[in-house]
Chain A
Amino acid sequence: MLDPSVSNQVQSFYFPNPENDANRGVPQYTGQNYNAYSNINPNKYRGMDKRDNPGDKLYADLIRAQTRDYNARFAPVESFMANEITATGTRSLAGDLSRTRGSVMDQGANVQGMTNRANERFGLAGNSSVGSGQGQVSALVGGLNDTKLRDQDRRTSLLTGSLSGISQKARGVGK
């Protein structure tokens, strides 16, 4: 008989609760109804004395609108991406591990059921152990290792370039 705490750990590893934080849901985007350009009036400064620089003033309005647009729609996405990076990978790791585990375990049970039904059609006992045991554990370990490596790669990409390189771009703004 397993110790109850060990039993719980085994249970949560092989059959994780889908309601836990590995299933974090869809991040909410707050800028979806924002349009910074709807209130721009191209004719606002027409007729103004040229000594008061109406062209400059209109340009300044446009730059302000673009800044508002960036802050409302894109800066939150940048912050989200930056928050995804952890010391060892990304925040998607827990969910990815859970899904990899679920996929290997579920498909093992699925194929076991298929094998049992096939055996029963031949008049054989439907008690196959196919899809479980050593082969399944080996697939599970391989899948989990691959998941961790992919997550580490993702972190590197987020930081250094192919997936945005957000830190360099943040430094480059305003140059």
Chain B
Amino acid sequence: MCGGGGGDDPKEMESKLALAEQAANALQRYGSTFVPLENAYIQDTLNQFGQPAYDRSMAAATTQTAGIYEGGLRDLNRGAFNRGFDPMSGAFQGESNALRSAQARGMGLAGADAGLGNTDAAYQGLANVIKMGQGLQTEAVSGNIERLQSSVDRAGSQAERDFARSSSIQNIAGNAVGMGARYGLGGGG
């Protein structure tokens, strides 16, 4: 008979078992160290769909937006009184009400935007979980601070426009240019 058939089954190479044992050790270590961390991350991501997560991000955005407008309104009042404006005058009331309305809109929409950002972040977190499960690399998740800041940045830009549009404030301050910068409205910082 030729071709060397028959005889005993071939022996598996020693290194194959050694490699499998190495992989088993690595998986054990992964199981004891990283699986609990991954599980905590998955639960944290799901918690982001809960009302407390929305409340935190929305409240922070509206509070910071309120602060952006309050500084400008305080300066409006100070400037008006220094020039002898009567707070009961129609001009002062009209301007103040217009800015307060803008503040209401800015705070409401900044809060809404922060809520939408929270939903986006929750889905992004779950997308990362799926990538983890499929052995794909994870992407950096933008954190709470970054998301909040983008909502507040938008609110700050809107506030700048609201104050810049306000002709009475420009008259009071005597300068039609750079109102936002003067009131410290540069991006909510």
Chain A residues at the B interface, C-beta cutoff of 8 Å: 23-29, 31-38, 40-43, 45-46, 50-51, 53-56, 58-59, 61-62, 65-66, 69-70, 73-75, 77-78, 80-81, 84, 90, 92, 95-96, 99-100, 103-108, 110-112, 114-115, 118, 122, 124, 128, 130-131, 135-136, 138-140, 142-143, 146-147, 150, 154, 157-158, 163-164, 166, 169, 173
What is the minimal beta-carbon distance from A172 to any residue of chain B, in angstroms? 8
- Looking at the assembled complex, report how far the CB atom of B76 sits from the nearest CB atom of chain A, in whole angstroms: 11
Residues of A within 8 A of B119 (CB): 92, 95-96, 154
Chain B residues with Cβ below 8 Å from A112 are 104
Cross-chain pairs A/B with CB under 8 angstroms, 16 sampled: A34-B35, A35-B35, A38-B31, A42-B24, A51-B12, A54-B17, A54-B20, A55-B20, A61-B24, A96-B116, A99-B58, A100-B115, A103-B111, A136-B105, A138-B105, A146-B113
Residues of B within 8 A of A (CB): 8-14, 16-21, 23-25, 27-28, 30-32, 35-36, 38-40, 42-43, 46-47, 49-51, 54, 58, 62, 87-88, 96-97, 100-101, 103-105, 107-109, 111-113, 115-116, 119-120, 122-124, 126-127, 129-134
Known contacts A74-B133, A135-B105; 12 further A-B pairs (Cβ under 8 A): A27-B49, A55-B16, A55-B20, A58-B23, A74-B132, A103-B107, A107-B107, A114-B100, A122-B87, A131-B100, A147-B112, A169-B134
Whether the Cβ atoms of A77 and B108 lie closer than 8 Å is no
A residues in contact with B62, CB < 8 Å: 103, 107
Give CA–CA (A142, B110) in the complex, Å: 12
B residues less than 8 Å from A128 (CB atoms): 97, 100
